[in-house]
Structure 1
Amino acid sequence: MLLHRKDVLLLQQRYEFCVCVKVECDESDEYNHFILKYSRNNAIGFIGLGQMGFKMANNLYRKSGAPFVLYDLNAPVIDKFIELQQTSSLAEIRIAKTPKEVAQAASVVITMLPNSPHVEEVYLGEEGLVHAVDKDNLLIDSSTIDQSVAKSVAEAIIAKGARAIDAPVSGGIVGAEAATLTFMVGAPTTEDFDRAQPILSQMGKNIIHCGKSGSGQTAKICNNMLLAISMIGVSETMNLGRKLGMDPKLLANILNSSTGRCWSSDTYNPVPGILPNVPSSNDYKGGFATKLMAKDLRLAVNAANDTQSTILLGTVAQQLYNQLSETPGFKDKDFSSIYQWLNLNKDD
């Protein structure tokens, strides 16, 4: 946007959001670019528009009505997000060049990133959030990472006077799209949790305070370890029933009205055709990738080793998902594709 100084002043009077403008000026002017900050406390930053983050950000943007500041290394996904909002008359969206710019322009920042190194880079890197935060900032990390990294990142942010919480999620792509996610929150104080809760409730249904920094990650890796174990169990059960000649839909109905009922069976069944609108009925596309489940199980096993906890089934689940994610064609498939993998070269 090319503006004269008088136009910039008019913008300042009319709008209450962050806007990046290029100002036309003569050579004697010391400024070529301005980043105008209007009501920074009303703006929300979102970093990480992957399969989960995109849907979470979409719900938050549409429900909050707040100005948005976006950052993602994948430029096309930002273009896609902005294009999706073009039919609406909601608040402005600004694209930041670095995580640092996001913290400069928005007081609340949500991050949804693939793993611990990504989180450390976005928060503590050369152009990281830590270099721009102040007492007005609340940083919410919804990535699933090592508990130790979650704690160290939070400590670094808090040392700068800002607030930081970890808030990993459960509910998958379906929950992200429907805004029914469960947020497991590790917050140093009740005040931090209370400030984050209204924001998280626009992306989720259950917002649970698990304890201090890092406790959200503890809850998440425990949940995902159980999820992996149950998905393997349902896949083996459905496969056995099919091999014995039972109709898969009938078997699923029996399980879902009996003591074997679980989320992996009644909501996310791994057998194609049992349920609509789940990855198994779409060639296992979308959903929660096997490589990510393998990562989460590694986090669980590492935590178990650190605390000398016995996790026999968790260890087996990690080994199976490592093999699954390394099998050609399965790395990016949904984790329920373990059912398909069990039948490789074994179908009748």
Structure 2
Amino acid sequence: MATIAWIGLGNMGGPMTANLVAAGHEVVGFDLDAGANEAAAANGVRIATSVADAVSGADAVFTMLPKGEHVRSVYKGDAGVWANAPATALLLDSSTVDIETSRYCHDESAARGVRFVDAPVSGGISGAAAGTLTFMLGGAAADVAEAKSLVDPMAGNVFAVGAATQGIAAKLANNMMLFISLVAASEGSQLASSLGIDPQTFWDIARVSSADSWAMRTWYPVPGIVESSAANRNFDATFATTLALKDVALALGAGDAAGLSLPAAQLAREQFEQLIAEGLGGKDCSLIAKLVHPDGAVAGYTPEPEPALASR
């Protein structure tokens, strides 16, 4: 069993570390959020006082952070991963970041004689809790082989995608397809309902027909059909709109760099941007279903009341 340092114990990192502990690994974690630390500690993670404290003596170091700038800041500097992790440690980033940040981590690690693997995941919070995530690994073949053994307790599927940054490249393309599929599920579900088709009957048809997709099976934006749908809980976030916008924007950035036209992904970005402009960035990304309707009313969603004005 390994000693694993884990930086970032939020909605994904928390349950992922719980699965590592259950598999017998010693996990030392750190997060800036006290609540995240407390929840991880309850699952057997030893909480460190800093990044430097967490990575000292580790066999492997995982980072699971919101954005590329957070990953860069955690790795560099006197208090960062590179300065304090053992030279023998395998470094893995499971964050969803831009390809340039992943390349930076690979190059700077290599310059220091340290091994690094980009190791993003797909499967969401439910997959993190169930230990059924899909890992996409990029890096040197020997390092990826070692990474496979480390991620196994958290994974349903593990893919060695290729060389450095190929894991994160696969993740960005995959998430772009997810959000395009979500637009389709949102528009199709609302059209079917408006035409008077029973929602369960239509979902049953689409599930075994050409409209089937992961987004439809997991995030279908109609209450009472799919248990995991945010529509059952007033569209409280399982995947926040702000995060969806970040991911699709990263994919579009990669497409721009490759000289590609990605109009469907651009549409998804515009829809997420519209929700955010309405103050709904913290709601689930599947709430784009409301944009189908001229009045913005959609089954399963009740807007929160405006705060009352204080009397004078």
Give SS of 2:176's match: helix
Is structure 2 residue 295 aligned with structure 1 residue 336? no
SS in 1 for 2:12: helix
Structure-1 residue corresponding to 2:168 = 217
Aligned counterparts of 2:273 and 2:255: Cα–Cα separation in 1: 17
Q: What CA distance in whole angstroms lies between the structure 2 residues aligned with 1:134 and 1:157?
A: 12
Counterpart among 55, 64, 79 of residue 127 in structure 1: 79
Structure 2 gap segments, 5+ residues each: 299-312
1:90 maps to none
Q: Counterparts of 1:168 and 1:162 in 2: how far apart (Å)?
A: 19
Give the equivalent residue in structure 1 for 2:125: 173
Shift of 1:295: 0.3
> Aligned pairs, how many?
298
Shift of 1:98: 2.2
Q: Which residue of 2 aligns with 1:152?
A: 104
Alignment-derived partner of residue 20 in structure 2: 60
Change (3 A) 1:267 1:158: same
- Structure 1 residue runs of 5 or longer lacking an equivalent are 1-40, 86-92
How many Å separate the matches in 2 of 1:145 and 1:346? Answer: 32
Q: Distance in 2 between matches of 1:81 and 1:331?
A: 26
Q: CA deviation at 1:225?
A: 0.7
1:307 paired with 2:258, answer yes
Q: Larger C-alpha radius of gyration, 1 or 2? A: 1
Confirm or deny: 8 A CA contact 2:241 2:284 kept in the other structure: yes
* TM-score scaled by length of structure 1: 0.81
Structure 1 position 242 matched with structure 2 position 189:
no
The one-letter amino acid of 2:11's match is Q
Query: What does 1:3-14 correspond to in 2, within 5 Å?
Result: none
Return the alpha-carbon distance in structure 2 between the equivalents of residues 155 and 122 of structure 1: 16
Q: CA deviation digits over 1:253-279, x for unaligned, max 9? A: 111111111111123312111111332
Report % sequence identity.
35
> CA 1:341/1:47 → structure 2, altered by over 3 Å: closer, same or farther?
farther
Relative to structure 1, is the Cα distance of residues 186 and 344 closer, same or farther in structure 2, using a 3 angstrom cutoff?
Answer: farther
In structure 2, give the amino acid aligned to 1:155. D
RMSD of aligned residue pairs (Cα, Å): 1.7
Aligned equivalent of 1:182: 134
Is the CA contact (8 Å cut-off) linking 2:63 and 2:92 kept in structure 1? yes
Distance 2:154 2:123 in 1: 11
Q: Matches of residues 28-107 of structure 1 in structure 2 within 5 Å?
A: 42-63=2-23, 65-85=24-44, 93-107=45-59
DSSP 3-state at the match of 2:153: coil
Q: State the one-letter code of the partner of 2:202.
A: L
Whole-angstrom distance in 2 between the partners of 1:346 and 1:334 = 15
SS in 2 for 1:49: coil
Per the TM alignment, residue 316 of structure 1 is displaced from its structure 2 partner at its CA by 1.4
Q: 1: distance between equivalents of 2:16 and 2:26? A: 15
Matched to 1:293, the amino acid is A
Residues 304-343 of structure 1, C-alpha deviations (whole Å, 9 max, x = no match): 1111111111111111112223322x21222222223444
AA aligned to 1:117 is E
Q: Normalising by structure 2, report the TM-score.
A: 0.90
1:192-229, Cα deviation, whole Å (9 max, x unpaired) = 01111011111011111111111111111111111001
Partners of 1:103 and 1:77 in 2: CA distance: 18
CA contact (8 A) 1:166 1:185 kept: yes
Is the 8 Å Cα contact of residues 21 and 43 (structure 2) preserved in structure 1? no
Distance 1:346 1:245, change over 3 A: farther
> In 2, Cα distance between the equivalents of 1:303 and 1:273?
37
Does structure 1 conserve the Cα–Cα contact (< 8 Å) formed by 2:57 and 2:86? Answer: no
| Structure 1 runs (4+) greater than 6 angstroms displaced | none
1:265 alignment partner AA: M
Give the equivalent residue in structure 2 for 1:34: none
Checking the alignment, whether the CA contact within 8 Å between 1:138 and 1:163 is kept in structure 2 is yes
User: Residues 126 and 325 from structure 1, CA distance in 2 versus in 1: closer, same or farther, beyond 3 angstroms?
Assistant: farther
Q: Which amino acid aligns with 1:129?
A: V
Following superposition, the deviation at residue 344 of structure 1 comes to 6.8
